[in-house]
Amino acid sequence: MAPSKILNPLAVASATLAFSVLSVSADDRVAFQDKGIVRLHAPVQTGGVGWQQFFTVTVPKGQNLIYTDTCPSDAKTVVSSSFSPNTAAKVGLQLIASLRPKASSQTWQWEIHWPSGAPSGASIIFNIYCTT
């Protein structure tokens, strides 16, 4: 898929479920946790140009999420992203930010909140499209 096309994150996630999806547990990947926000970072990608490895993040009940994904060294620029919450995560989900930070063209960051933190069983699939 060309990065210039508008993609439906649900369709992209559904189409790729036949491929491998890595799971990132909040318990294993916590870089920072404070005041109800868990900050997670995906492992550095190794895929080259194109869509990278999908990561499924399980959000701890009652927490909000800041999630960061990084392009591989041979395709350092993020040009698009996708995320697909499961049914449990959709209830009350508020996408606060989905952006490429000004200081780093190699990363993409999402900030997701819920009115009372994530509901039980909430998980989200994330991916980024990288180019040279």
Annotated domain spans of the chain: 21-131
By C-alpha distance, which of 18, 66, 59, 9 is closest to 41? 66
Just give the CATH number of 21-131: 2.60.40
* DSSP type of residue 49: S
- Residues 100-111: tens digit of each pLDDT: 998 889 999 999
The pTM assigned to this predicted structure is: 0.76
Q: For all residues of the chain together, what is the average pLDDT?
A: 81
Residue 43 to residue 131: CA distance in whole angstroms: 18
Give CA separation, 29 vs 45, 112, 126, in Å: 15, 17, 15
Q: Is the pLDDT of residue 1 over 50?
A: no
Tell me the sheet residues that pair with 126.
55, 83
